[in-house]
Structure 1
Amino acid sequence: MIRTFLEKRWKYYILGIIFLASIDYLQILVPKYIGEVVNIVIKPPVNLGIVMNFVVLIIIIAAGVVVGRFIWRMLIVGSARKFQAYAQQTLFDKFLRSPISFLDEHSVGNLMAYYTNDVQAVSQMLSQGVIMTVDAIAMTIFVFAGMLMVVDYRLVLISLIPLPFVAISSWYFGGKIHTRFKKVQNDFSFISEKAQESFSNVKTIKSYGVEDKFNALFKQSCDQFANDNFLLLRISAVYGPLISFLAALTTAIAIFLGGQMVISGTVNLGDFVAFISYLGMLTWPFVAIGQVINVLQMGRASQERIESLMETPDRKEEGLEFPGKFETLEIKHLNFSYNGENILKGVDLKIKAGQKIAVIGKIGSGKTMLVKLMTKLYSIEDGQIFYNGVDINRINGKSLRENVLLIPQESFLFSTKISKNVAFGLEQFSEDDVEDASKVAHFHEEVVKFDDKYDTLVGERGVTLSGGQRQRLSLSRGIFKNAQVIILDDVLSAVDSQTATLILEDIGKTLKDMTTIVITHNIASVKNSDVIFVMDEGKIIESGTHDELMKLNGLYRRLFMIQQIEREIGH
């Protein structure tokens, strides 16, 4: 990611570095001029004209430093801000392009940690890290060059004494900072994950009265995060002052030895003043080394986390367009395993255009995974699923899902108007089409009860709607899409059996050319389907019409009779 960004912005960084180094060079001229002035004023008569010339030069240099500093900040820090926007957009695009299995492995809170903290740390590396690195190197070179111009080389060599200790300290502490910051970032991801999970399910937590338990678990995570942060802080707290101490020690030695040289007359007072000024300027590079190691190691740790995330394979969307008008969906001996578990075992079925299909079975029988594979949300081997005789792996995933729409169990809604939730993904749409789709889903009669009708805001995740209303809104969205095949994955579970039956009947009457596949536990609502497939333990064990399956006296009949008894007891 960084390499791709720098390929576009390297010119800005180079120009910014040139300005930064130029400013450092201008700054080392000031002590030299001050030393010249001191040498002039201590030897009367004083030529005020020459003194004024030096004063004007110092003012010009100060003005140049101000202008140059503005320019390099705009170039380097501005580029880092561009990176932040680029990285966040790239990560967002990565999340959308990733397969469902990727999202199964990474929680929302975890992904948000990458999106915020890690991107911020890398951005700091590309701004403050670059600035302090260049500044420390350039300033050190220029300061030592300035020293050699004004004092004896032996005094300059004394100021080099701390450098080996600085290098050793940087190597030792840098590795520890890198390791511990990476641990801190992982802790932050875990906390973000737990916080997001708790906030999203706060009603459930309160309903079960387990606030104290969740609070204790979250406190435990926060304590771990604080402890790891403290360990990181302890390293930084030792490293920074150590570098400052080495710089101060150098200054003390130089003043002691340099003072003796001034007294003995081997060094002019003005040159010694310039030398002391240079030593003061050298303190910043020493301190900057400590800071830059922190910034670079933290940025590198976050970069490794981001690069590791970016290296995960994307969902494969290349391939042919969906093969025209839907005619058949055929599955041949489909096997599928996930996380070491065999979920589907030798599934065979065939669906023709216009059929109303139902897939039923006990919880965990593989129904939901089957329809996810139908829409290419997970990868499978060739030769198992075919649309119009074309292997699903040869069909472009985006084109497939535009024609074969899966409405999932989770009826996720967005914090906007009902109409925009129904016409999801479109900026311009017909209000009449939205209303027509809602009528088929038996949602229209609910909408007209609201004061603002279709302009009603549904709130975060549809909080203002009941469970049944959310499901019918989600169904309205799928009907509005007008795909050739629509798969309803238990989307009517919060709707009573009678209403669910009416909705499915209306879909069949209104959308005669649409092929529907209904995944459900409610047998009564799908008993009029053209074909019913019964799943158990990842296999299709029965198929046929309602009457045919009842005659088999198998699992379907047992489930149907159990539900009949439950409804009678409920009445």
Structure 2
Amino acid sequence: MIIEFFKSRWKHYLIGVLFLVLIDYLQILVPKYIGNVVNLVIKPPVDLSVIFKYVILIVFIAGGVVIGRFIWRMLIVGSARKFQVYIQQKLFEKFLKSPIAFFDSTSVGNLMAYYTNDVQAVSQMLSQGIIMTVDAIAMTAFVFGGMLMVVDIRLVLISLIPLPFVALSSWYFGGKIHQRFKMVQNDFSFISERAQESFSNIKTIKSYGVENEFNRLFKETCDKFARDNFILLRISAVYGPLISFLAALTMAIAIFLGGQMVISGSVNLGDFIAFISYLGMLTWPFVAIGQVINVVQMGRASHERIDALMNTPERDDGGMDFPGRFQTLEIKDLDFSYNEKKVIKNLSLKIQAGQKVAIIGKIGSGKSTIAKLMTKLYTVEDGKIFYNGVDINRISAKSLRDNVLLVPQESFLFSTKISQNIAFGLKEFSDDEVEGASKVAHFHEEVVKFEEKYDTLVGERGVTLSGGQRQRLSLSRGIFKDAQVIILDDVLSAVDSQTATLILQDIEKEFKDMTKIVITHNIASIKNSDIIFVIDDGRIVESGDHDELMKLNGLYHRLFMIQQIEREIEK
């Protein structure tokens, strides 16, 4: 990603680096001019016009440095900010293209850590990392060049004493910083995960009175983050001052030996002052090396994490368009496993256009998994699922979902208006269409009770709505889509059986040509289905209409009788 980004911004970085080098060159002229002024002052008569000329030059250099710094900061730091936006967009695109299985094994907190700490660390590497690297190299080269012009070679050699120690320290501490920062980033991911999980389930936590337990778990996570951070801090705290100490030691040696040369007359005072100024300027490159190692190693660690994420397999969106009008859906001898646990076993079924189909079974029997496989949320082997005789793996995911809509049992709502939640994904829509879909789902009578009606904000995750209202809003969204096949995955579990039956009857009246697949455990709402598939332990154990299944006196009959008894008890 970095190389791809540099291809579009290399001119900005190049110009920024050139201005940075130019500023470094201008700065090393100042000590030379100051040394010349000192030499003029200590050897009367003093020519004030010459001194004034040097003063004007120094002022112009200062002005040039100000302008140049503004330019390179805008170009280099500005490009790094662009990269931050670029990489965040790339990450978001990656998440959208990733298969559902990726999100099953990756927490939201971990994903958010990529967006915050990791992106920030890489951005710092591409701004401060580049600036300090170029600045340190250019300044070091120019300073040594300036020294050679004004002082004895022996003093210049003295200033080189710390370089081998700086290189050795950078190699040793750099590796440790890299390793430790990756650990710190992983710890931060766990903190984000723990916080997100707790905040999302705060009602459950309070209902069960386990605040202290969750507080203890979060504290343990934070303590580990703090411990690893302190270890990283100790490494950086030793490394940075060590580099500064080497620079100060060089200055002390230079002053001692250089002072003797001035006393002996082998070096004049002005040149020695220039040399000390140059040596002071050389302190920054030494310090910058320490800082740049920190920044680059942290950036590298974060880039490795992001790069590993970007290289995870993506959902295959290639393929043909959905093959015309829906005619048949056929599943043949399908097996499917989650993490080596088989949940669908040798399952076969066939659905015809216009049918009202029900899939029922006990909790955990595999009903929802079938729905996800029908809509390509998980990948199956070739030759297992067919639409109009075409293998599902040959049909693009987008085209398939435009024609076969799954309304999931998790009625997730967005923090926006009711109307925008129903017309999900569309910028422009008519109020009549939204209201029509809402009426079919028996949600309209609830909406008109709100003061703002369809402009009512539902709050985060639909917090202002009841469970039944959230499900009916989610169903309204599915009805609004008007697909050829609609799969309702237990979307009316929070609605009473009488209302659920009325809703399904209205859907049948409104969309006679639409193929409807209802996944539920509520038999009363699907008794009039054309065909009912009974699932148990990932297998179809019975199939037929209501009367046929009741005559079999099998699992369907037992579930029906249990639900009848439960309703009698409720009455």
Aligned to 2:229: 229
1:407-426 correspondence runs (5 A): 407-426=407-426
* Structure 2 unmatched ranges of 5 or more: none
Aligned to 1:475: 475
Answering whether residue 253 of structure 2 is matched by residue 249 of structure 1, we say no
Letter in 2 for 1:69: R
Aligned to 1:149: 149
Letter in 1 for 2:10: W
Letter in 2 for 1:482: D
Aligned to 2:49: 49
SS at match of 1:414: coil
Letter in 1 for 2:85: A
Aligned to 1:291: 291
Supply the distance in 2 between the matched residues of 1:24 and 1:409 (Cα, whole angstroms). 63
Letter in 2 for 1:508: E
Letter in 1 for 2:392: I
Give the C-alpha shift of residue 403 in structure 1: 0.5
Supply the distance in 1 between the matched residues of 2:415 and 2:337 (Cα, whole angstroms). 36
TM-score, length-scaled by structure 2? 0.99
Supply the distance in 2 between the matched residues of 1:448 and 1:196 (Cα, whole angstroms). 34
Aligned to 2:307: 307
Give the C-alpha shift of residue 52 in structure 1: 0.9
Answering whether residue 463 of structure 2 is matched by residue 463 of structure 1, we say yes
Answering whether residue 390 of structure 2 is matched by residue 406 of structure 1, we say no
Supply the distance in 1 between the matched residues of 2:563 and 2:173 (Cα, whole angstroms). 67
Give the C-alpha shift of residue 122 in structure 1: 0.2
SS at match of 1:542: strand
Q: Deviations over 1:298-340 (max 9, x none)?
A: 0000000000000011110111001111110011111112211
1:406-555 correspondence runs (5 A): 406-555=406-555
Give the C-alpha shift of residue 554 in structure 1: 1.1
Q: Deviations over 1:207-246 (max 9, x none)?
A: 1111111011101101111111111111111110000000
Supply the distance in 1 between the matched residues of 2:4 and 2:120 (Cα, whole angstroms). 18
SS at match of 1:84: helix
SS at match of 2:357: strand
SS at match of 2:517: strand
Give the C-alpha shift of residue 453 in structure 1: 1.0
Aligned to 2:30: 30
Supply the distance in 2 between the matched residues of 1:402 and 1:109 (Cα, whole angstroms). 30
Answering whether residue 212 of structure 2 is matched by residue 212 of structure 1, we say yes
Aligned to 1:272: 272
Aligned to 1:375: 375
Supply the distance in 2 between the matched residues of 1:165 and 1:349 (Cα, whole angstroms). 74
SS at match of 2:508: helix
Letter in 2 for 1:47: D
SS at match of 1:329: strand
Supply the distance in 1 between the matched residues of 2:48 and 2:141 (Cα, whole angstroms). 33
Letter in 1 for 2:300: R
Letter in 2 for 1:322: F
SS at match of 2:494: coil
Letter in 1 for 2:141: I
Answering whether residue 122 of structure 2 is matched by residue 122 of structure 1, we say yes
Aligned to 1:40: 40
Aligned to 1:158: 158
SS at match of 1:516: strand
- Figure out how many residues of one structure are paired with residues of the other and give that number: 571
Aligned to 1:102: 102
Letter in 1 for 2:350: K
Letter in 1 for 2:314: D
SS at match of 1:461: helix
Supply the distance in 2 between the matched residues of 1:255 and 1:135 (Cα, whole angstroms). 25
Aligned to 2:134: 134
Aligned to 2:176: 176
Supply the distance in 2 between the matched residues of 1:289 and 1:102 (Cα, whole angstroms). 39
Aligned to 2:565: 565
SS at match of 2:405: strand
Supply the distance in 1 between the matched residues of 2:396 and 2:216 (Cα, whole angstroms). 48
Answering whether residue 339 of structure 2 is matched by residue 339 of structure 1, we say yes
* RMSD (Å), alpha carbons: 0.7
Supply the distance in 2 between the matched residues of 1:516 and 1:226 (Cα, whole angstroms). 54
Aligned to 1:326: 326
SS at match of 1:346: strand
SS at match of 2:300: helix
Supply the distance in 1 between the matched residues of 2:523 and 2:169 (Cα, whole angstroms). 72
Aligned to 1:65: 65
Supply the distance in 1 between the matched residues of 2:156 and 2:138 (Cα, whole angstroms). 17
Give the C-alpha shift of residue 532 in structure 1: 0.5
Give the C-alpha shift of residue 289 in structure 1: 0.5
Supply the distance in 1 between the matched residues of 2:340 and 2:156 (Cα, whole angstroms). 67
Supply the distance in 2 between the matched residues of 1:155 and 1:277 (Cα, whole angstroms). 13
Q: Deviations over 1:418-471 (max 9, x none)?
A: 111111111111101111101110101111111111111111110000000000
Letter in 1 for 2:56: V
Aligned to 1:80: 80
SS at match of 1:347: strand
SS at match of 1:195: helix
Supply the distance in 1 between the matched residues of 2:341 and 2:160 (Cα, whole angstroms). 64
SS at match of 1:337: strand
Structure 1 residue runs of 4 or more that deviate by more than 3 Å after TM superposition: none
Supply the distance in 2 between the matched residues of 1:151 and 1:291 (Cα, whole angstroms). 30
Give the C-alpha shift of residue 108 in structure 1: 1.2
Supply the distance in 2 between the matched residues of 1:61 and 1:448 (Cα, whole angstroms). 72
Letter in 1 for 2:154: R
Supply the distance in 2 between the matched residues of 1:145 and 1:105 (Cα, whole angstroms). 57
Give the C-alpha shift of residue 566 in structure 1: 1.0
* Structure 1 unmatched ranges of 5 or more: none
Supply the distance in 2 between the matched residues of 1:32 and 1:26 (Cα, whole angstroms). 11
Give the C-alpha shift of residue 563 in structure 1: 1.0
Letter in 2 for 1:185: Q
Letter in 2 for 1:249: L
Q: Deviations over 1:175-226 (max 9, x none)?
A: 1111111000001011101101111110110011111110111011011111
Letter in 1 for 2:9: R
Letter in 2 for 1:379: T
Supply the distance in 2 between the matched residues of 1:560 and 1:110 (Cα, whole angstroms). 44
